[in-house]
Structure 1
């Protein structure tokens, strides 16, 4: 194996989910996981009822759910200032702005946006976020936008159940020039690289090594001939521009962010283990196991994560496009280690130097 990529282990990782399909206020969460409502009620400026003196549960201004994903990642390595990185931006111009304002996110401190892949449920809030950040930041406070260079003209949905007929196209992804017009500094990366003070690894192309993870069956892409006079929809099951992010927490291991897992979450985890030879502490994001077309992938996925990979992840957070059936199966396998995370939740992962000295590389059965 080649020398592993270099990233700095972090002593503290804080994650805030800014966009997700699910709002979950009441389920018991593990230590370090914080529901949205207590975050609001603990604010010093929380609005209070004049009559009773009790804080309002201000439903008008709390987070909203949306079909997409966005996570704010705050990393802090020893001797360094905290780094704020935004992983994806949700599907639309409204949800991310509402939720950023609801959670009082210091957007001027977010120095980089990582786009996991060119699908609008992950890129749709980018331009509105950049505009909001520009208005609420001092002049010259640039934000890097980390993108795969292979931006599609259009992507669509052609379900197997519809005989492969293209039933709809996704909204257009942001153009490079639109990003730059709003103060974004475009960085195009097809290869893996470390960012945010070398505390966050952004993968390159994810190797497809499993036999059961076959990409996105309904995926199609609009391709035009040179000159753009004619074009057609072509099947595109492998979304090869997809990238994951990884953070190494001292004494815990890798925290993996996989926004949609078109490559397959097992392929994602295998690549992380192969590259870093570190245990997987937490798997976060869309696992793309929803719907009848992907149901047969659930058993081998759960079997790998819970039984074949040793040590198994401590926590799995199936979000966005994971689907109800996959969540049930993961809860059956992991118990409270399968966390019903959703928009507005905060997760604090503290490093443990003493545990670090006893850790070993992961293995597979």
Structure 2
């Protein structure tokens, strides 16, 4: 392994707090649980007439176009760490889902924002507000890329058809008890159990960013929208599970999931156990990227990932292609799902560096 400060963990779990999709009925692999199991096993309301527990639909998670994942990491003999990776698109979705999943917000010691887009930052202030209302006295670090844009939008044929809502400001974060911490370089957090990347090298020919992405600039008295397809502030997160390999969180993959995987393999020389998050393969403009992406993950990366969880902006066509190539290794994950895995120090003896063809 490269000499980077990432320690392997004995326990890893993730709860999906925000995602586009809700999936209650599909069979999931071992270690995964549906949201409904929690509702029916933790003092559900009971029907006075039949004595049966209610399926409390008023208080279940809602889907929203965005992403947020609560990550728990622990090394045996040490305290667990809780990291919130992104916060979804709006104040209401994260508030409803935090309540539905009974998230202990006071345990969250750090929010990591993958990149400055409102579908990932829009719930941040709401989450900090909930945390403050619960009278949490410990500070919550908010891990941000320093290059916060004034505004971002999408253009079609040179015309800006819409701009994203404002990202939280540093002052707004401070006012709600958050502690902004800016990082342009890769760094370890959560007791060195989570790695937050720096700039992701763009080395894959077909991964050319987000078509039509633009950024509002104010320089030398001039203001205008300028092309910004590469979204260079995007970062991924990595966790190394003993005896398993790396779990990668790529919230939107504007850099390209192949570029993300290549960077993680180069840095850590560890097999990829799990890939989680938006793969940004939805939409007609990105259809040509699906086949080479699936080919890389299924056939060129050795060993292939044990699980790929295509979420948020991955798109239906990409999910179908990944399921065809990976079978049950493609997991139909969604909001409210939880995954837990225990590391295996003995199995670590048989884990070998990966290769990329």
Give the TM-score normalised by the residue count of structure 1.
0.96
SS in 2 for 1:117: coil
CA distance in 1 between counterparts of 2:128 and 2:99 reads 14
Cα distance in 2, alignment partners of residues 201 and 248 from structure 1: 9
Superposed, 1:233-312 pairs within 5 Å as 233-312=225-304
Distance 1:64 1:127 in 2: 19
Superimposed CA distance per residue, residues 56-78 of structure 1 (whole angstroms, 9 cap, x where no aligned partner): 10000000000000000000112
Alignment of 1:85-104 (within 5 A): 85-104=83-102
| Structure 1 residue 217 corresponds to structure 2 residue 233 | no
The residue number in structure 1 matching 2:131 is: 133
CA distance in 1, matches of 2:3, 2:203: 19
Distance 1:42 1:26 in 2: 17
Aligned to 2:64: 66
Pairwise CA RMSD: 1.0
Cα shift at 1:350: 1.3
Determine the C-alpha separation between the residues in 2 that align with 1:343 and 1:72.
11
1:146 aligns with 2:146: no
Q: Which of residues 119, 123, 127 in structure 1 aligns to 2:121?
A: 123
Shift of 1:3: 4.1
Residue ranges of structure 2 left out of the alignment (5+ in a row): none
2:52 counterpart (42, 51, 54): 54
SS at match of 1:167: strand
Task: Select 1:169's aligned residue among 163, 167, 189.
Answer: 163
For residues 254 and 307 of structure 2, the distance between their equivalents in structure 1, rounded to whole angstroms, comes to 21
Matched, 1:334 2:298: no
Q: Classify the secondary structure of the residue corresponding to 1:166.
A: strand
Match of 1:177, SS? helix
1:13-32 matches, within 5 Å, as 13-32=12-31
Note closer, same or farther for the CA distance 1:293–1:256 as it changes in structure 2 (3 Å cut).
same
Q: 1:87, 1:311 → 2: CA distance?
A: 26
Separation in 2, partners of 1:41, 1:357: 40
Distance between the aligned counterparts of 2:215 and 2:147, measured in 1? 12
Q: Describe the SS at the equivalent of 1:312.
A: coil
State the partner residue of 2:201: 207
Q: How many residue pairs align between the two structures? A: 357
| Residue-by-residue CA offset, 1:230-259 (whole Å, 9 max, x unaligned) | 300000011000000000001100000000
| Unpaired runs of at least 5, structure 1 | none
Matched residue, 1:355: 347
Aligned 8 A contact 2:9 2:241 in 1: yes
Poorly superposed stretches of 4+, deviation over 4 Å: none
Question: For residues 310 and 3 of structure 1, do their structure 2 counterparts lie closer, same or farther at Cα, with a shift above 3 Å needed?
Answer: closer
